Structure 1
């Protein structure tokens, strides 16, 4: 939930490096100091098992490590594990020696296995279960060999790649998860020292850290202190970057050009989580009927919506994953959505029994065609303008539309708890086709699952099940066909792959797979 799922729906960035060529040689780095990065919203509870927002996962990335990482090109590189052996139903990880938790305790094979088994236990209701953590996955430790084996009941073609986004909890937090609501307990390069909800989160460097992505450690130019500052307004963030109140941030709206022109700025452009929308298909919802969903889509010019919702900074979305490693990059969208035709859309609703009343609003069996359109306020003014465009076009069609914007945590609750929406704009920031299954099929949230839109597409289930029998990218044609089945049924409507500007003043930073890579940060001389 970029975004809210990091795994999740969320505003999330793919592989990107802030930096530019310097004809006079490498810039001079400055060790120590403070790196202040803008978060567009408060991360909320810091428990990794419930982390569903991009801002939460960015925060956790400073304090936790995964077993393996993805580099900027999508290749798998070492993390806590230095070697791995994947097969259809399991991956055996050999752990790096000498890894320690922030509290000084050793990170052993049992530590990792216990952390993984907590996530795979349905009683703990981890948001990653069924998305990154396959249902029924077990973790077995061999302390003597220093290995952890993750095994699944069914073949899982991207189990190795999934582990790039799963934080390993260690130390005190593994024994008492309650400390993770407002604190951290990981092996990452920084230790959380202060958490002020709604304002800032401060981290201090761990000088002994030496097991980052590809064996990265603490080197010259890395900051001693990192402050993640909650700045909900993008223009405010731009002003703070100008005045020195921020070192870096991400920008999607009209402030991009102003930020890019600042002296001492290093910039990079990165794909954002896919901008797409879903219809709630639960019982008694008007969009449960495919003819209604298709008519609503047909009433929109998706090309126009794409331009508005991205502020002109995006391209057509062609599949349902966007973050590194993103191994399956085919086209599941082109030709699978109804072409724009407002008159045909009106006729289709008439044929489905939704007739316009004296007030112009369509109704069927005495029930008005009313749609609550939900979105994250942190998504920015362009997304809001795009949804205002949608609301107006649907009003012209005879639909009573209501725009409902909410902050990230409340928005996540709306999707996964109270279901108080009919159409939701969801910037789905995922990297692997296997991550989609829990969100696009299976049990709904009220039944303990993550299928927030209550989708029931048998063709998707069949095709994705067949694709899952092939390990790795060799099964990508099947995964793309499965996604196409969803698009044809208007179960999901991919609109745009927008970009964000990653800007740093007198600093450099990489954002990979939607997460700031802490060991990439370099403070530069003015």
Structure 2
């Protein structure tokens, strides 16, 4: 059964035809009109083209884009724009589309349009090729797709729920999507104005939405406190006391499937030594980080403990073992307490970004832990984390990542750790790991996939290209107007079809 009962609405409103022109219009940054809702968060889609980078993820979380399959509130992969997917004897898949689904201009969702969009994305976006290689979509008829995969897979529905695969129509002005909201004005880096998609069920029950990007958590909290926002997504924990007993305001906290982690740049002269990386990993006390964030729990591996493929953990601090590893690698502590080798001090720069406020909170905790080890650490904050990570212009980088956005371990383990992966930020290369991921990619048995994912995490722990730190809890501020809002899905489904004003 589909997660929503979808039908053509009675009201027929044309999709906005001149989006490109509207992008140039000035936009007021104050409160929205009375019949609209203002949502504040620290991130915003950088564009509207799903074939570019992580834009597809942002469009889905904004309620603009949808995929053939999605992840339900309970974490299960369920049909959305598709109704079914069946594996064929020749290794291909047959995907049937759900009936009565429409783009926001009223165009019916057809196999031809889906194939054109997803083939374009697959060619342009490396993230769309991470789990099963290149996917090729062919329209059999208007309601049926044949899907071929470069690497044979038995988990195609999960792959099609990944953030790289929203469905769209490419136009000269801007792509047209199928989600419950449609863009009327886009101010890059600032805000997106949206109206209910008139061709989506219950359109008349949804408000207009102004989605504002507010760069840091403290400013987000202040905007919510002042009444500028109806919903503030991912408030910093230190701001929560501001809203105790505040009339018309509430905070809802929820566990997320993200992992807070720290990339280690293996191209750095010191960090290319696995002993140094392992020492740094052993020096960090996860309990101290949880205490600093005042929420969450210590990570046990690459995935939240609620997943069956999570690591067994625990990942404990062991300063004596860490010091021994640095001694073995030739880094000797000097009179000033900083280790050096061949005349060079062990000095590292630890990066974070304000879009995830907890990461900035972690910086002094990690710096203090590494200072005790004899590592001199300075800190930097960037508002362009993907650029810094992609360029490899960091030593250590605190990072937040949903590691199983489609309920499967394959995407994260491939996209971020295989030798030639598009997002192998650490620069780590290990042939045993690559072979293991190739085996995972071809394996269809759920229990075997769990075992392979756990072996992959053991290899990551052994070589430490990344250090997994905390499984977080997040906090959402809601005004009385949207008091019925319930956060789920981390930040992957922030605005959903059920986003409505509270009666």
TM-score w.r.t. length of structure 2: 0.82
Does the Cα contact within 8 Å between 2:359 and 2:399 map onto a contact in 1?
no
Q: Provide the C-alpha distance between the structure 2 equivalents of 1:255 and 1:54, rounded to a whole number of angstroms.
A: 30
Q: Provide the C-alpha distance between the structure 2 equivalents of 1:54 and 1:426, rounded to a whole number of angstroms.
A: 19
Counterpart residue number, 2:259: 274
1:25-44 → structure 2 map (5 Å cutoff): 33-44=35-46
Change (3 A) 1:471 1:503: farther
Counterpart residue number, 2:330: 353
How many residues of Structure 1 are paired with residues of Structure 2 in the alignment? 457
Counterpart residue number, 1:391: 367
2:186 to 171, 188, 195: 195
Change (3 A) 1:91 1:242: farther
Does the Cα contact within 8 Å between 1:42 and 1:55 map onto a contact in 2?
no
Counterpart residue number, 1:117: 119
Q: Provide the C-alpha distance between the structure 2 equivalents of 1:367 and 1:297, rounded to a whole number of angstroms.
A: 21
Does the Cα contact within 8 Å between 2:104 and 2:199 map onto a contact in 1?
no
Task: Give the Å deviation of 1:435.
Answer: 0.7
Q: Provide the C-alpha distance between the structure 1 equivalents of 2:203 and 2:193, rounded to a whole number of angstroms.
A: 20
Q: Provide the C-alpha distance between the structure 1 equivalents of 2:55 and 2:109, rounded to a whole number of angstroms.
A: 26
Q: Deviations over 1:18-74 (max 9, x none)?
A: xxxxxxxxxxxxxx9312111213432332122437983456x42222112221012
1:143-292 → structure 2 map (5 Å cutoff): 143-144=141-142, 146-164=143-161, 165-173=163-171, 176=172, 179=173, 183-209=174-200, 217-218=201-202, 221-223=205-207, 225-250=208-233, 251-259=235-243, 261-265=245-249, 267-271=252-256, 273-282=258-267, 284-292=268-276
Q: Deviations over 1:344-382 (max 9, x none)?
A: 4233212211223465433333433221212112221x4
Counterpart residue number, 2:462: 488
Task: Give the Å deviation of 1:314.
Answer: 0.5
> Partner of 2:65: helix, strand, or coil?
coil
Does the Cα contact within 8 Å between 1:112 and 1:168 map onto a contact in 2?
no
Q: Provide the C-alpha distance between the structure 2 equivalents of 1:45 and 1:425, rounded to a whole number of angstroms.
A: 25
Unaligned runs of 5+ in 1: 1-31, 210-216
Name which structure has the greater RCO, CA cutoff 8 Å, separation 6+.
Answer: 1
Q: Provide the C-alpha distance between the structure 1 equivalents of 2:266 and 2:55, rounded to a whole number of angstroms.
A: 23
Change (3 A) 1:222 1:81: same
Task: Give the Å deviation of 1:291.
Answer: 0.8
Task: Give the Å deviation of 1:130.
Answer: 3.5
Shift >6 Å, 4+ stretches = none
TM-score w.r.t. length of structure 1: 0.79
Counterpart residue number, 2:23: none
Q: Provide the C-alpha distance between the structure 2 equivalents of 1:378 and 1:331, rounded to a whole number of angstroms.
A: 26
Unaligned runs of 5+ in 2: 1-33
Counterpart residue number, 2:14: none
Matched, 1:451 2:424: yes
Task: Give the Å deviation of 1:169.
Answer: 4.2
Q: Provide the C-alpha distance between the structure 1 equivalents of 2:457 and 2:205, rounded to a whole number of angstroms.
A: 44
Does the Cα contact within 8 Å between 1:318 and 1:330 map onto a contact in 2?
no
Matched, 1:501 2:475: yes
Counterpart residue number, 2:297: 315
Matched, 1:141 2:119: no
